[in-house]
Structure 1
Amino acid sequence: MNICDSSGKLFVKSNMAGYGRGHGYPCHRGELAVVFYEYAKTLPGVQFRLGHRIMDYWETEDEAGITINGERVAADCVIAADGVHSKARKHVSGDGGAPHTSGYAMYRAWFDAKDVATDPKSRWLLENTERRDRDNTWVFVGADIHCMLGTAKGGREVFWMCTHKDVFDIGESWSFPGKVEDMLNYISDWPILPKIKAVVEKSPPEKVIDFKLLWRDPLKTWISKGGRIMLIGDAAHPYLPTSGQGAGQSIEDAATVAIALELAGRNNVKKGLKAAEKLRYQRACKIQRMGVETRDAWHKTDWAAVGKDTALLEMPRPGWIFGFDCQAYAYEEFDKAMRAVEGGPEYQPHNIPPEDMNHRTQDFRTGEAITNKALAAPLAIEEQLGKASDGGAFLRSKL
């Protein structure tokens, strides 16, 4: 990742260990959803109901469920992964209100790199991706605004985003069709404008959106009073894009909950959910705050301080995030978390750094990549992502 000011002056050049093959794979989340969906369809007992709107969540002493199209569907528990606009949240916090704006919105696009590759003015973004074994990311930081441009799939695809002050009221739509010319107006006085413009003007109009970056303050608990409804992902802890961890932490949530329920057994569902929360809560909250810190570093930049220490602009790359195996941790720590649930000593997580440690450290190294054989091989994931179509965007909206 290369981080520059609005003139294009380079301040930070990072190898972005933690985002490469063997210990992470940059990809389109819609396509990743397709991979998960196709795999889940092969599992016995897994059912999907696409195109159904959840009208309500409910629970009793012995079960929990949802109401869809007037039908009550019951289960031992409900794991509510219904996003930042979560309807389930009111059953946990009592607050069913809308999320509030973070004060910022983002233009965003993702598209095939072919047009970028054929124009000499935009080809700079694809430099050194010819072998299809690396990607590039450039960040340009201005006055309360930043732009990020990059490649994915070894230069086969291009993405860009521009985070800017939000000028619309929270009561209005949270997502709009975006226009490249509107985005460029925000950076019209940047010396680097021609270089950025050459790339973003290649965006297919239907691929550009402008959406609010919404926020919810951390909850005291992710579990309902009845103990059978649990929030995960953005429903529990919505992340700003500058965290770089929204999807990753949602996956950690899901894996941890699945393992906790497996180990707790059907007769201890409530305790299993509480144990999962103890394993995840402090880690998720700390990483959520880091997104705000990075946004502020790029929007309220002290350039004099950056001149003395360019690391102030870096995207955090701590080993405690990237060198972490959430599955192994859940299996190893479950008994301790369960004892705390049952009235024993309070659980002390060690999936977060000590208080006296810089949590934004850049200490992750490639050699720390997770080698747990239980995890899917990165090359297999790449293979499946290569087969995923643009239908992933549709599936993402329906899952």
Structure 2
Amino acid sequence: MPFPSRSQSAYYSEYRQLGQRSPSAKTQALHNMTHAGLRVVIVGAGFCGLTAAIECKLKGMHPILVETYPTSRTQGDALDFLPNGGRIFNSWDNGRVGKRLLSICVNTCKYLDFLNPQEQLLCREPWNKYPHHYEAQFAGHRGELHEVISDYAREIGVEFQFGKTVVQYLDTETELGVLTKDGEKILGDVVLACDGPRSLARSQVLGLPDNKVNSGYAIYRAYYELSEEQQKNPLIAKYIDVNEDKALMHVGRDMHSFVYTWRRGTHLVWVLTHKDENDIGESWSFPGNKADVMHYLEQGNFSESFKEMVRNTPDDRLVDYKLVWRDALQTWLSPSKRIILMGDAAHCHLPTSAQGACQAVEDAVTFAVCLEKAAGDVPLALQVAERVRFNRSHTIHQSSLSNRDSYHNWTWTPELAARHPGALTVPRPDWIVEFDARKTAEENFDQLASDVKSGKQGTIEELALPAGGSFDIFQGDVDSESAEKAAPEQTARL
């Protein structure tokens, strides 16, 4: 069965022969398999797919990364990895990958400042929650981060299949893999569907309808490098410090924003989340219109500094992205237990969870560990991986709605923020940011594998590991007068 040197044609022949064997012979053949050389077909070369490919390759498997785009993605705006995700990158190549990422990210920031739209300081919290987070927390340009990780994947020999659009998932007695638009079959022993929020696997593998729902919000996103003239602009200069990277969050009624400046004030990202009830149609991402942004800024009473930052944004660097909500899935597994959905395909987070990318790479590490420890038993590996991940991912996924409302339902002033300390924060409790996905999978595999083999009964929530914690999200009446009388500890438990 699987060996590292097998060609695609040799693999296809072996897989077809396995499908023709008797059930008892097939079972014996599967028991003789190991994880070494396992052909892992991974659909989607985003951060989830890349991480899965790297982790599988480092464990001696043969990952095949199938990606629609013709090259590595070098576009985009900002992306954050808190330490539970960043520690994975920092573990590669004795920390070299992490050092490379940190060199191009926000790395001299001391605080995240919370402001109201009039630029009044509401509160601040440390950029790194703990000192040891410095080397494992990454915030920077999405495309540049992706390029660093892609380069490492190439260095260690991950097989890339760029420019290949998957049109069908294959899962029969004789074929497991994908069919591409040009008619090519890419076959393997297991398929990891990391194909994003518009996942084809949701419909083809799980048989689910396209149940995307407009969340009621959209987000403008922009990244650009500042010219010397722009850096000297007194309005924009408020967001710049050549000696210290800056991270700001503005919170207002029904909208909030992030602003990052880094690399001695030469790189700038801003994002603005706002109400949007328009139909999402067939596309979720559109070129942004600065006049529309200015309308929202006027509506939210934003400062002239913020408006000037928007005015200076190059037209081709502004994107209007509709935030789509998808309810949690009841399973991520195909009926055969040989295909699994991961990352946004399985749990599409809103940005206010601050965990979408992190949960995707936690998925990736978990599945690689389980494939290794299952010694070639793919259905066992994927069932265990789902049970490791399900409750944690679901709880964090659901939190994004409450996080957003805690920002948007108040008219924030310094006085109100002072009366309710802790109400404004990026959600990063220890049970989230101190989490070690690799260690958790390794320590819990044997017990969960025993549960699977014994046929232990229960719902996925009952069979999966506990989430590890819950959220205390600040809630209250949207009326500020009522809010002044509310107890700071009013919470919603998830």
- Note if 1:242 corresponds to 2:358: no
8 Å contact from structure 1 (residues 177, 209) kept in 2: yes
Query: Unaligned 5+ residue runs, structure 1?
Result: 362-399
d(CA) in 1 for partners of 2:395, 2:262: 28
Shift of 1:34: 1.3
Q: Give the structure 2 partner of residue 67 of structure 1.
A: 179
The aligned runs of 1:116-131 (5 Å cut-off) are 116-127=230-241, 130-131=242-243
Number of the residue aligned with 1:352:
468
Q: In the superposition, relative to structure 1, how do residues 119 and 359 fare at CA in structure 2: closer, same or farther (>3 Å)?
A: same
Corresponding position of 2:336: 226
Residue number among 251, 267, 270 corresponding to 1:157 in the alignment: 267
Residue of 207, 230, 242 corresponding to 2:317: 207
The higher radius of gyration belongs to 2
Letter in 1 for 2:444: E
| Match runs of 1:235-384 below 5 Å | 235-266=345-376, 268-301=377-410, 306=417, 308-343=419-454, 347=463, 349=465, 352-353=468-469, 358=471
Q: CA deviation at 1:39?
A: 1.5
Q: TM-score if structure 1 supplies the norm length?
A: 0.81
Separation of aligned partners in 2, 1:39 and 1:348: 33
d(CA) in 2 for partners of 1:106 and 1:264?
42
Is 1:33 equivalent to 2:142 in the alignment?
A: no
2:173 aligned with 1:58, yes or no? no
Alignment of 1:12 with 2:131, yes or no, is no
Where structure 2 has 5 or more consecutive residues not aligned to the other structure, the ranges are: 1-111, 457-461, 475-494
Q: How many residues align?
A: 352
Change in CA separation of 1:295 and 1:80 when aligned onto 2, cut-off 3 Å: same
What do the CA deviations read for 1:212-266 (whole angstroms, capped 9, x no partner)?
0111100011111111110001000011111121111111111111111011122
Question: CA contact under 8 A between 1:7 and 1:191: conserved in structure 2?
Answer: yes
Contact 1:5 1:140 in 2 (8 A): yes
User: Hey, what's the Cα distance between the residues in 1 that align with 2:137 and 2:276?
Assistant: 32
Amino acid at match of 1:4: L
RMSD: 2.4
Distance 2:445 2:263 in 1: 36
Distance 1:154 1:348 in 2: 46
**Mapped contact 2:256–2:408 kept (Cα < 8 A):** yes
Residue from 193, 199, 208 that aligns with 1:95: 208
CA apart distance, 1:152: 3.8
- Counterparts of 2:257 and 2:365, CA distance in 1: 33
In structure 2, the CA distance between the partners of 1:18 and 1:91, relative to structure 1 (3 Å rule), is farther
Counterpart code for 2:335: K
Regions of 4+ moved over 3 Å: 113-116, 152-156, 189-192, 302-307, 344-348, 358-361
Q: Give the SS at the match of 2:330.
A: coil
Query: 1:23 deviation in Å?
Result: 2.7
Q: Report the Cα offset of residue 78 of structure 1.
A: 0.7
SS at match of 2:126: coil
| Pairing 1:110–2:226 present | no
Q: Give 1:30 deviation, angstroms.
A: 1.8
Contact 1:87-1:96 at 8 Å conserved across structures:
no
Letter in 2 for 1:33: H
Provide closer, same or farther for how the CA distance between residues 21 and 349 of structure 1 changes in structure 2, counting only shifts above 3 A.
Answer: same
Give, in whole Å, the separation in 2 of the partners of 1:167 and 1:39.
Answer: 41
Aligned residue for 2:136, secondary structure, equals coil
Q: What code does the residue aligned with 1:298 have?
A: Y
Q: 1:190 to 1:97 in 2, by over 3 A?
A: closer
Q: 1 or 2 for the larger relative contact order (CA 8 Å, sep ≥6)? A: 1
Following the alignment from structure 1 to structure 2, what is the Cα–Cα distance between the partners of residues 136 and 164? Answer: 22
What is the aligned partner in structure 1 of residue 14 from structure 2?
A: none
How far, CA to CA, are the matches of 2:176 and 2:123 in structure 1? 50
Give the Cα–Cα distance (whole angstroms) in 1 for the partners of residues 343 and 451 of structure 2. 23
In the superposition, relative to structure 1, how do residues 271 and 18 fare at CA in structure 2: closer, same or farther (>3 Å)?
farther
